[in-house]
Structure 1
Amino acid sequence: MLSLIALAIIFGSLKQIFTSLEEEQKIFSFHLFISVLLLYTIITIGFGLLYSVLSVGGLEIFHDVPAASSETWMEEVSRSMYFSGVTLFTVGYGDLLPLGLGRWLALFEAMIGYALPAALVMKVWLHDKGNS
């Protein structure tokens, strides 16, 4: 259930940023900057919670290099948030390796992290071109 809520928050955030961009009058604004920061934060938290729930539920989502076991729920959430951030921003330090279902989730998250800046720039460019 928590996994579905996390996914709904992620997709709702993505929909909101593109809807607000259509209504935005300026090419760049403080509001847009904060919106983008919040979008990345929400996506990182959403995927982090998704990884945590699946990991605590018994699925091996990622492997630590070197291996370390998380002992508490908060340690698992912290590790998952870190993994989510590294994946979303396509940094890929290599200290956590996705496994099984985690590979597909990480691939999807990295795709969002990679495509989102290009989509935002294209949206602003099209908006600016339409106003000239």
Structure 2
Amino acid sequence: MIAYLFILIIIFCISMSLRTLFLPNALQDKFLSWESFAYLFFIYSTILLGFGLLYFICMENGIAVIQENEELLSGSTLHTLQTCIYFSGSTLFSVGYGDVTPIGIGRVISILEGMIGYTIPASFVVRTVVDIQQERG
């Protein structure tokens, strides 16, 4: 039961982080500045750690979501956590390397994470262009 509460909290944090990309004034006065890069860094960090923890919680509760080298992920808790965060990062920033792969419900979760990974830079650029046009016009 606690695991489901943690999953809901993680999903809430991810949602709130992504929500800021779509608010009209979220990036106001931050066009191409260090603040913009820091802002993106924190969004990416939230998503990466959030999904990594989702994978980890599932694995720790007996729900197989990822496998390593075509075998179910096993080992110490620290190794599982590191592998889950690594998989989350490789899924968020690329299509992965193939050494860690999703299985079962993990496939759906990783597709969602990959879509978010591609949406963040696009929405950031669109939001910046729209804000610049509103400022000029």
TM > 0.5 between the two? yes
Compute the displacement of 1:19 (Å): 3.6
Q: Structure 1 segments of 4 or more deviating over 6 A?
A: none
Count of residues in correspondence between the two structures: 132
Give the counterpart of 2:58 among 54, 63, 78. Answer: 54
User: SS state of the match for residue 71, structure 2?
Assistant: coil
Aligned equivalents of 1:73 and 1:43: distance in 2? 21
Report the TM-score when normalising by structure 1.
Answer: 0.91
User: SS state of the match for residue 22, structure 1?
Assistant: coil
Distance 1:45 1:114, change over 3 A: same
Distance 1:43 1:81, change over 3 A: same
- Unaligned stretches of 5+ residues in structure 1: none
Correspondence for 1:101: 105
Give the counterpart of 2:74 among 70, 74, 81. Answer: 70
Report the TM-score when normalising by structure 2.
Answer: 0.88
1:116 aligns with 2:116: no
- Unaligned stretches of 5+ residues in structure 2: none
Aligned equivalents of 1:88 and 1:94: distance in 2? 14
Compute the displacement of 1:55 (Å): 0.8
CA RMSD of aligned residues (A): 1.7
Deviations 1:104-123 (A, max 9, x none): 00000000001110110000
Q: Note if contact 1:86-1:93 (Cα within 8 Å) is conserved in structure 2.
A: yes
Compute the displacement of 1:60 (Å): 1.0
Q: Note if contact 1:21-1:124 (Cα within 8 Å) is conserved in structure 2.
A: no
